[in-house]
Amino acid sequence: MLQQLINHSTDLKKLLDEGYQIEVNGGYLLVHQIPFVNTNCQIQYGTIVTILNLATPDKVGAPPDHTVYFKGDAPCDTEGNELTAVINNSNATQLTDLILVNHYLSSKPKTGNYPDYYEKIPEGQQIRKPLDFYRHIRNRKSETGDHYRGQYEYYTGEHRLLLCF
């Protein structure tokens, strides 16, 4: 079923092409390996879970709303403070026999809802915004050829990211 959905849904294909690990299970779209910062300012990986709206049996429709569930520790800002602006609640919720989530997140765009899942997953959930440049800085090397060690600060205008290596 997943391959048919990907073949007929450009938004899922874009997610897959950009390296997202996606799964369809029990009427939900799961996007695994989402990096986030925890309360100890450590980079962790969680899973975004959202209701999957099908337009046809082999094509997804627009997401029904602007909310997602999150499986993992509470996502935080660069100083280890929980993202209370997007965390609606932190109640463990059993969505299906196989899907247990820890948080319910809400990040409503100005238009009200996201037009597709490609827009909803990477851009709509602010847990990823502090990590936009993470892959770039992690792979940088010093002039001596060693990987950089220490603290790195990065400013995006609205976010301050501090990583420790």
- pLDDT for the residue 3: 87
Please name which of 40, 31, 39, 51 lies closest in space to residue 90, comparing C-alpha atoms: 39
| Average of per-residue pLDDT across 129-153 | 42
CB 148 within 8 A of CB 165: yes
Q: Is the pLDDT of residue 11 over 80?
A: yes
For residue 160, give the H/E element and its range.
strand 160-164
Output 65 or 35, whichever has higher pLDDT. 65
Please name which of 157, 121, 159, 156 lies closest in space to residue 21, comparing C-alpha atoms: 121
**3-class secondary structure, 7:** helix
| Average of per-residue pLDDT across 142-147 | 43
| Domain spans of the chain, in order of start | 2-130, 132-165
Token readout for 64 is 């029904």
- pLDDT for the residue 36: 82
- pLDDT for the residue 33: 85
| Average of per-residue pLDDT across 6-14 | 92
21-25, 34-38, 61-65, 119-123: the lowest-pLDDT one: 119-123
**3-class secondary structure, 127:** coil
Q: Residues 87-136: pLDDT tens digits?
A: 999 999 999 999 999 999 988 888 888 999 998 886 444 555 444 444 44
Q: Is the pLDDT of residue 151 over 50?
A: no
| Average of per-residue pLDDT across 25-53 | 90
Residue 162 buriedness (CB in 10 A; 0-12 / 13-18 / 19+): middle
Beta-strand relationship, 151-155 and 93-94: unpaired
- pLDDT for the residue 62: 95
Going by pLDDT thresholds of 50, 70 and 90, the confidence category of residue 8 is: very high
